[in-house]
Structure 1
Amino acid sequence: MGKKRTRDVDADVAMADDDVPIQQKKNNDGGDSSGSDEDMDIVNVDFELFNYDPAIDFHGVKTLLRQLLDADATLFDLSALSDLIVEQNTIGSTCKVDDKANDAYAFLTVLNVQEHAEKPAVKKLAEYLAERARKSQDEKLAEIVPGLLTGEGKKQQVGLVLAERLLNMPAEVIPPMWSCMIDEIEAAVEDKEPYEFTHYLVLSRTYLEVESTLDQAERKNKRSKATGELQYFHPEDEEMRKWATAAGSFEYTREGEAAVADSKRAFQEMGLKPVGFMMLIEANKFQKAVKAIGEYVATGGMSMEVS
C-alpha cells in the first residue's frame, strides 16, 4: 500500500491494494448460516484511512477512547482528549468503510506529553499512567516511565500513542495506519513541528482469564482455574512488545476482579478480566517495531471470520 495522503487535510486514500477479506458463512440461498466451510463466501471490504475531521470524528473517537480506557474511562475528560486528537489532524488516522462521514471503526494518534503538559486532560492521563507504571510488576516500567511522564526527564520527549478499534475489526487494517503515522511524523519533524520524540509510550488493553463467581455450587467439584497468562485483544501488541525497553500490564482502579469475571464471562467457565497495558519504545526502535507488526500480521493468517 502506498502513502495514505499528503499533509493536506482533506486528502484520503482507499486501501485498494490491500483489501481485507472478511469471511462470511452463507447458505446456498444467500441466508446467514453456521454451515460448513463449503458454503463460505469471501466478502471484500474496502477500508479507507482519513485525516481527522473535527466536524465528523469527535463522537467516534470519544467512543473508542472510552473502550481503550475501559473501566477507568470515567476518570478522564474524554471530550477534551477527543477534541485534542481530532484537531491534530495531520498526525494519525481514522479507519472507515464507505464514506468519510461515517464513524471511525479504528483510530490511531500520538500526543506529545511535554507539549501538552499543561492541558488538564493530558496532565491527568499522564499522572494516571505514571502511577499505574509505578505499581507495575515490570521493574523497568516502574523505574523509567514515571520520570518521563511527570517532567523529571526534561530533555526527553514522549509520544503517547493512543490506538483502538472495534473488536471485530480485522488486524490487517492496522499496519497501514502505523506506517502512515510514521511518514506523517517524519514530515512534521521536517516542518519543525513538535514530534521529534525520544520515546513512544503505547497504551493498549489486554486481559486475563479468571474464575467466575457464578454457579459455584453447581461447579464446586470442577477444577477449572485461571491460568494467569496475559492475553491480547490486539494480536500485534505481542509482537510490538519485543521491541520495547519496558512493557507491562496494570489493573484498573474502578473495577474489582469478581465483578469483571461475572459480567464478561461470555458463556464460558472462565471470565475475562481486562487490564491495561503499556509499552515504552525508544524512538530509534519504533520504526522497526512498526515494520515488525506489519510482517507479523501479514504472515499470521489473521483474517476475520463472522457468522
Structure 2
Amino acid sequence: MVRKRIRDPDPEILPEAPADNDSGSDDDVDMVNVEFEWFNFKPDIDFHGVKSLIRQLLDVDSQLFDVSALADLILSQTTLGSTVKVDGEETDPYAFLTILNLREHKEKKVIKDLTEYIVAKAKSEPTLKPVADLLSSSAEVGLILAERLINVPSEIAPPMYSMLIDEIEAAVEDNEPYEFTHYLIVSKTYHEIASALDQEEAPKSKKNKASKGSKEIFYFHPEDEVLQKHTLAFGSYDYTKDEGEGMADSKRAFSDMGVKPQGSMLLIEAAKFEGAIKAISEYLSPPQ
C-alpha cells in the first residue's frame, strides 16, 4: 500500500509483493503478502537504515565519503523524499529516495567531495561530459539518490518518484530552493566478466570466450533502463576503490560469469523529468 503523509491525500495501491518461500518442494510455492508504506524521513529512526542504503548505492566508493554526514543532510529534509517500510514507521527503511540541491549545499564538505567525485567520473567518460560542463556552470542541478534492498520489488520506484515531483512543486511554491534546470541521478549498473573460478577446468575454447566477458550493460534498478531514454547524458564508470580479487565471483547469481558493478549517472532536463517518471510508471505497472 502506498501511504504517505499530509501532502498525499489520495493513497495509491501497490500490489502486494510475492516472495518465494522454500518449503522443500519444487512444486509448492508459498506466497508472502507484504504491504509497503511510504513515510517522511525521521532522523531519530532512519539514520542507520539510510546510511546503510547509501553505502550500498555508492558501493566500494562509499569509503571515499563521510556517509554519516550525507545521511544527516538527507534526513534534514523531512518533507522532501521518502522512505519505504513494511512494519510501520518505527522500523528501518527498505528503500529511500531523496534529492539534494548541489548549489545550495556546495559549502558542505560532503557535497564538495561528492561533486568533485561526480565531475571527475563524468570527465572520464565521453558520454557524461555534459554532466561535468553543467556542474561547472550556473545550472541548478538536483542530485537524486535512490536505493532499496535487493529483494524489494521495482514497483515501489514509480510512486517514490511521483511523490518527489509533487513535493518539489510544493517546495517551490513555498520559495524553497528546489527549482531545478536538471536532475542528476547517481545509480549503478553492472556487466558480466569471466569467472576466475571456472578457468582452470574450462576447455581452451570456453576460456577464450569467457576471457572476453560481456560489455552489455545490466541495470540494478530496472527503472534506469527507461529513464535512460529521456536523458541528456548517460554513462557508466569504474569505481575508484578496488573491490579486491574474487569479489566479482562472489557476486555471481545464477550465472557462469562474474559480475562487475559500476557507478552510473543519468542527466535529465527538468522539462523532460515528469515525462520520464510517467514512462517508468507505465513500464513497471503490474498487468491488469
TM-score by shorter chain over 0.5? yes
Aligned-partner Cα distance in 1 for 2:203–2:244: 19
Q: Deviations over 1:231-278 (max 9, x none)?
A: 011111100110001100000011268543233234642100000010
Range moving further from structure 2, 119-128 or 254-263: 254-263
Report if aligned partners of 2:82, 2:98 keep a CA contact under 8 Å in 1: yes
Letter in 1 for 2:273: F
Partner of residue 13, structure 2:
17
Report if aligned partners of 2:3, 2:11 keep a CA contact under 8 Å in 1: no
Q: Deviations over 1:139-174 (max 9, x none)?
A: xx21x211322xx312x1000000000001011111
Name the SS for the 1:17 alignment partner.
coil
1:7-156 counterparts in 2 under 5 A? 7=7, 17-25=13-21, 32-36=23-27, 39-138=28-127, 141-142=128-129, 144-149=130-135, 152-154=136-138, 156=139
More strand by share: 1
Computed over aligned residues only, the root mean square deviation of the Cα atoms, in angstroms, reads 2.3
Provide structure 2 residue ranges, at least 5 long, that are not aligned to the other structure.
none
Aligned-partner Cα distance in 2 for 1:148–1:115: 15
Indicate which of 278, 290, 293 corresponds to 2:277: 290
Partner of residue 140, structure 2:
157
**Is it true that 1:176 corresponds to 2:159 in the alignment?**
yes
Q: Deviations over 1:59-104 (max 9, x none)?
A: 1000000000001010000000000001111100000002111110
Letter in 1 for 2:201: E
Partner of residue 238, structure 2:
251
Q: Deviations over 1:200-250 (max 9, x none)?
A: 000101101000223422124324421210001111110011000110000
Report if aligned partners of 1:21, 1:45 keep a CA contact under 8 Å in 2: yes
Name the SS for the 1:20 alignment partner.
coil
Provide structure 1 residue ranges, at least 5 long, that are not aligned to the other structure.
27-31, 302-307
Flag the 1:220–1:255 CA change in 2: closer, same or farther, 3 A.
farther
How many Å apart are 1:35 and its aligned residue?
A: 1.9
Partner of residue 191, structure 2:
208
Aligned-partner Cα distance in 2 for 1:202–1:136: 16
Aligned-partner Cα distance in 2 for 1:74–1:220: 39
Q: TM-score, normalised by structure 2?
A: 0.91
Name the SS for the 1:65 alignment partner.
helix
Report if aligned partners of 2:2, 2:37 keep a CA contact under 8 Å in 1: no
- Identity of matched residues, %: 53
Q: TM-score, normalised by structure 1?
A: 0.86
